Amino acid sequence: MWAVPSARPRRSASIFTTSRGYPRAVNNLSLQALVAAFATGKNLVDEAATRASVSEVVGD
């Protein structure tokens, strides 16, 4: 079962900064972070998954 953690400042700040607060961009980045966490077999989205989602969406 997937656990939904409380928003961590560093992760949510990274997603918010990258998305510039646009709701669709926040959703896209969050979805990519969930996919990255799932791909590595984690039950929680960690900072590495968040960084991977930003890199995937932004293209860095």
Say if 26 falls within a structural domain. Answer: yes
Q: Which of 20, 48, 24 is nearest to 35 (CA)?
A: 48
Residue 27 CA: distances (Å) to CA of 7, 54, 57, 58: 14, 12, 11, 14
What is residue 19's three-state secondary structure? helix
pLDDT of residue 1: 46
pLDDT of residue 40: 92
The range of the structural domain enclosing residue 53 comes to 9-58
pLDDT of residue 16: 81
Domain count, the chain: 1
Say if 2 falls within a structural domain. Answer: no
Say if 35 falls within a structural domain. Answer: yes
pLDDT by position in tens, the chain (length 60): 445 555 555 666 778 888 888 889 889 988 999 999 999 999 888 888 888 888 887 876
